[in-house]
């Protein structure tokens, strides 16, 4: 899939993070309840984005779609290697063309 212009993006990285104290509880203390809550919060956030904001274009007109393709990648260290649980959600610009 090739972008039709330089401004068009094929992937958006939506990063959903916890606060540092929650990340420490999950990663250092091993609190699985909080880790599961993080996973659920990520899924609910993506569902909300999908239902309210996902669009495509048909005949150059924006049309809502509730069918995003999202890859969720949990990640735990920050760039400074401190505990920070976050999930990169890669929303891919995929669609079907009529033939």
pLDDT digits (tens, 9 = 90+) for 13-55: 999 998 889 999 988 888 899 999 999 999 999 999 988 888 8
- Residue-wise over 24-61: b if at least 16 C-beta within 10 A, else e? bbbbeeeeeebbeebeeebeeebeebbeeebeeeeeee
Q: 5: pLDDT confidence band, cut at 50, 70 and 90? A: low
Structure tokens at 27: 């990663």
pTM of the model: 0.77
Rounded to whole angstroms, how far apart are CA atoms 13 and 58?
A: 24
What pLDDT was estimated at residue 14? 92
Structure tokens at 23: 């990340």
Rounded to whole angstroms, how far apart are CA atoms 22 and 13?
A: 22
CA triple 32-38-42, angle to 5 deg: 150
Mean pLDDT of 68-84: 85
Rounded to whole angstroms, how far apart are CA atoms 82 and 79?
A: 7
What pLDDT was estimated at residue 10? 76
């Amino acid at each position: 899939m090739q972008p039709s212009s330089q401004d068009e993006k094929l992937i958006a990285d939506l990063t959903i993070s916890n606060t540092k104290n929650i990340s420490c509880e999950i990663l250092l203390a091993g609190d699985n309840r909080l880790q599961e809550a993080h996973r659920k919060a990520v899924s609910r956030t993506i569902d909300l984005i999908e239902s309210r904001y996902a669009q495509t274009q048909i005949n150059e007109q924006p049309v809502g779609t509730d069918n995003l393709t999202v890859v969720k990648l949990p990640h735990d260290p920050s760039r400074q290697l401190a505990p920070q649980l976050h999930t990169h959600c890669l929303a891919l610009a995929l669609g079907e063309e009529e033939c």
